[in-house]
Amino acid sequence: MIQPHGADRLRPLFIENRDERETLLREAAELPALILNSAAAANAVMLGAGYFTPLEGFMNLSDTLSVSEHMQTEEGLFWPVPCINRANNISAIEGASKIALLDPNIKGNPVLAIQDIDKIESISDSQLSQVTEQIFGTLDPQHPGVDTFSGLGKYLISGPIKVLNFSYFETDFTGTFKTATEIRNEIKKNNWERVVAFQTRNPMHRAHEELCKIAKDAVDADGVLIHMLLGKLKPGDIPADIRDAAIRKMVELYFPEKTVLVTGYGFDMLYAGPKEALLHAIFRQNAGCTHLIVGRDHAGVGDFYGPFEAQTIFENNMIESALEIDIFKADHTAYSKKLNKVVMLRDAPDHSKDDFVMLSGTKVREMLAAGKDLPIEFARPEVAKILMSYYQQDKNP
């Protein structure tokens, strides 16, 4: 099986031993405590679940600056987006060597992890602007990732952590949320050698379905990992439970048995385009996948990135040598009325725009909200039914 990123074995930071967890929880009750922001809590979950292998915790300022500018830590580990714990108020933890990290996303703010503090550093306004622009490629506050990232706090708390639970992801997404270790175990159980991963924060329509099948055939994969983001999204995006139901229905009806794993991971969407695509590659390599589908405007939002920037960023000697996972570069897909099937546009050079059935996301949402059926060429009827039910309920609560 493919090696984890930067390590000979997966390094999840979740404390598996129940007695040890209970001891740490009792210890945490006596420690100074910090309520995390959702972004830092998601980083803790990803560290616990092994997706951030080989990181041992939150980065300090020098690593944050180095990763943002050079995509490498000070020690030379390839990493595209800083893994950080920022806060606006550190009065409760000043002078502490160890702190309890509290979950902002669960009522009562239970302990999520324990952190040994290496440093508490201030990040200046100029440094924050530099880091923000290097991650997102813009400082425009209309970018949802920039808007969130800019308000996370001026203090940076670094050091290793021990993760004690997986927040709301295990309870809200039972059977879907999986750690990198669990996915590796399922891949091994299935005797899959080549696995192609599909990242999604949206429901999957016909084009997405066919893209997974096209990629699987192209790389001669044994199976497909449909890996959905379960964390925080921007307003207007479809909630994870609705996406989960729609995707599972599609896989049940339209994929051969035992060729797909439908899973999810506990991370908040960054909308960082090319840099986030690199992070997605690390997640999937750590989960045991040999290939990742990178499509048009992968992890993008609005018009902030070129349509294929998330593919071309991989064409870098440093990145190619750092990652073992391979990229399947996908073009935009649409239903061809000429061929009566979904194709990638690059594979249909003899087509005109009128030969395709193409709908924008905005148009789809408008049709669903109005109770109008989606074209069968665009969405499987069983999937459309689930989505329409959600939109109608949202419109008429």
Classified as helix, coil or strand, 198 is strand
Q: Which two tokens stand for residue 19?
A: 């007695």
Q: How far apart are CA 259 and CA 238, in angstroms?
A: 26
Beta strand ranges found along the chain (DSSP E): 33-35, 57-58, 86-87, 98-102, 111-116, 119-122, 155-163, 195-200, 223-229, 260-265, 291-294, 326-329, 333-336, 341-344, 356-357
* Cβ(163)–Cβ(98) below 8 Å: no
- The SS3 call for residue 155 is strand
CB atoms within 10 A of CB 146: 23
Give which of 269, 273, 201 is closest to 239, Cα–Cα: 201
Rounded to an integer, what distance in angstroms lies between the CA atom of residue 260 and that of residue 249? 12
Respond yes or no: is residue 201 known to be catalytic: yes
Half-sphere exposure of 279 (CA within 13 A, CB side): 25
Q: Which residues pair with 102 in a beta bridge?
A: 35, 111
- 311 near 327, Cβ under 8 Å? yes
Cα-based distances in Å from 75 to 61, 62, 70, 169 = 14, 11, 12, 32
Q: Is 32 helix (H, G, I), strand (E, B) or coil?
A: coil
21 tagged catalytic: no
CA contacts within 13 A on the Cβ side of 193: 2
Q: Return the DSSP state at 14.
A: B
Catalytic, out of 202, 248, 296, 365: 202
Q: Determine whether 340 is exposed, middle or buried from the number of CB atoms within 10 Å of its CB (0-12, 13-18, 19+).
A: exposed
Determine the length of the chain.
Answer: 397
Closest CA to 134 of 54, 224, 72: 72
Q: Which of 11, 86, 184, 201 is catalytic?
A: 201
Q: Which helix (H) or strand (E) holds 381?
A: helix 381-395
Residues annotated catalytic, as ranges: 201-202
